[in-house]
Amino acid sequence: MTFAKEVLCPRCDRRFPCGKIPNLCSCGSPLLVQYDLEKLTHAVKPSDLERRPPTLWRYREFLPVSDDRNIVSLVEGFTPLIEAKGLARELRLKKVWIKDESRNPTGSFKDRGLCIAVSMAKEFGIKRLAIPSAGNAGGSLSAYAARAGIEAHVFMPKDTPRANIIEVEKYGAHLTLVEGLISDCGRIIAEGKEKEGWFDVSTLKEPYRVEGKKTIGFEIAEQLGWRLPDVIIYPTGGGTGHIGMWKGFAELEAVGWIKGKRPRIVTVQASGCAPIVRAFDERKEKAEPWSDARTIASGLRVPQAVADFLILRVLRESNGTALSVSDEEMLAEIARTGKLEGLFFCPEGAATVAALRRLVEKRWIQPDAEVVIFNTASGFKYLDVFGSLFNLSSGGEVHASKNIVP
Ligand SMILES: *Cc1c(COP(=O)(O)O)cnc(C)c1O
Ligand SMILES: [Zn+2]
């Protein structure tokens, strides 16, 4: 059972009942699920979790699915929080942890949101789902939809990393490659959904992906012994992670599982697509769309986010900051972090390392700070950004000829 009691608009405060299939509020804002936290407090306590399996479903009471039979799971979440001793030593920091999201079922943290969205679709009896995806979301939706026996329609820019395109096909989804960006894919879905009978699971156009993403915040708190770090650096695309984590922290405070200071939240974007950073620097409430978005970090190639004002609100409320890093810095950090920590980062994850380095240099992060960064997907999903084996464009040296036996 669930303790979800209603769905709330964070912009105009309008409320909707849980049993109705929601998209955006009539005012155009994303909606957020609210729980009866008073009742929830009496139903579960932190020590109950110790006996539960290591998946995001250990936070069952904080999730919106009513009937357990509707849970669609591939065993996701509760990814390790790995102490990055090499990085901490190099940057002379007290503690750095890497939340390694590459270990989710399809190799990225998109699984968290889509496992909840697909479970809710099953609960509502929805038969056809549609998603625009710049990369990993398409694979996640396709995998969970396959598992649930629901149709998935995925729209991706045609220059999306190959692994993402191939996995969508192998999970049996309907794939359309689009000449354009994720925003163009989103438009096709918005225009076709009425006629095609699609439920649109675009980032924050429904409230459930955020519910899955907030479990990252729960896990960080639990893994640190029900306390939070000083700084969290997150690679921001559509913003589900920011909004989800912040919402999760508020819920944990409301039930008394954590107290004290919240972390400062940092947004990292790519210098070729940084609408939130620009809006933050200009102290705007909303972000202008970014034109000519370009970056190898496909998860950050989001020129416009419907929840921009909520992301910016989190940055302000947390006393956080926003910065962008170049593709070259990401590639350099993939090689450096691989060597220092033995983890194969995706470009988006490497952006958090580059941001950490920059913020330490600027003394925005002090040496005694405890910092959490993310590897949001596996580097294996991005092999095409490294060029071909014989023409490695970045970092490592390859002596291919020596390894080839004719
Ligand atoms: C989607 C994605 C992001 C951005 O996450 P949001 O929650 O949409 O801001 C970052 N990294 C990777 C690997 C992604 O797939
Ligand atoms: Zn509203």
| AA identity, residue 84 | A
One digit per residue, the tens of pLDDT, for the chain of length 406 reads: 899 999 999 999 999 999 888 889 999 999 999 999 999 999 999 999 999 999 999 999 999 999 999 999 999 999 999 999 999 999 999 999 999 999 999 999 999 999 999 999 999 999 999 999 988 999 999 999 999 999 999 999 999 999 999 999 999 999 999 999 888 999 999 999 999 999 999 988 999 999 999 999 999 999 999 999 999 999 999 999 999 999 999 999 999 999 999 999 999 999 999 999 999 999 999 999 999 999 999 999 999 999 999 999 999 999 999 999 999 999 999 999 999 999 999 999 999 999 999 999 999 999 999 999 999 999 999 999 887 554 444 444 444 444 444 3
Q: What pLDDT was estimated at residue 289?
A: 97
Nearest CA-CA partner of 266 in 226, 243, 232: 232
Q: Which ligand 1 atom sits nearest the alpha carbon of residue 101?
A: 13
What residues contact residue 225 under an 8 Å CB cut-off, 6+ apart? none
299 in contact with ligand 1, CB cutoff 6 A = yes
Distance CA 373, CA 345 (A): 11
SS3 214: helix
What residues contact residue 120 under an 8 Å CB cut-off, 6+ apart? 64, 65, 70, 206, 208
Token digits of residue 140: 């996640």
Token digits of residue 165: 């395109």
Q: Which residue lies with its CA nearest to atom 4 of ligand 1?
A: 237
Q: Which of 112, 133, 136 to mutate to test the pocket of ligand 1 (most atoms within 8 A of CB)?
A: 136
Instruction: Give the CA-trace dihedral at 372, 373, 378, 382, to 10 degrees.
Output: 180
For 45-54, letters b (16+ CB in 10 Å) and e give: eeeebeeeee
Q: Which residue lies with its CA nearest to atom 3 of ligand 1?
A: 299
Full DSSP string of 333-366: HHHHHHHHHS--B-HHHHHHHHHHHHHHHTTSS-
Beta strand 151-157 pairing with 174-178 = parallel
Distance CA 258, CA 48 (A): 16
Nearest CA-CA partner of 384 in 374, 395, 393: 393
Nearest CA-CA partner of 164 in 377, 394, 1, 313: 377
**Ligand 2 center to residue 307 CA distance, Å?**
12
Give the rounded distance of the alpha carbon of 256 from its chain centre: 26
- For 324, half-sphere exposure in the C-beta direction (CA atoms, 13 angstrom radius) is 21
Q: Which of 160, 236, 310 to mutate to test the pocket of ligand 1 (most atoms within 8 A of CB)?
A: 236
What residues contact residue 46 under an 8 Å CB cut-off, 6+ apart? 222, 226, 257
Which residues surround the ion ligand 2 when the cut-off is CB under 5 Å? 9, 11-12, 14, 25, 27, 29
**Ligand 2 center to residue 161 CA distance, Å?**
35
Any idea which fold 79-406 has?
A: Rossmann fold (3.40.50)
Beta strands in 199-255 (DSSP E): 199-200, 231-235
Distance CA 268, CA 284 (A): 17
Q: What pLDDT was estimated at residue 387?
A: 73
Handedness of CA 352, 82, 217, 148 (dihedral sign): positive
Q: What pLDDT was estimated at residue 338?
A: 98
Q: Which ligand 1 atom sits nearest the alpha carbon of residue 377?
A: 13
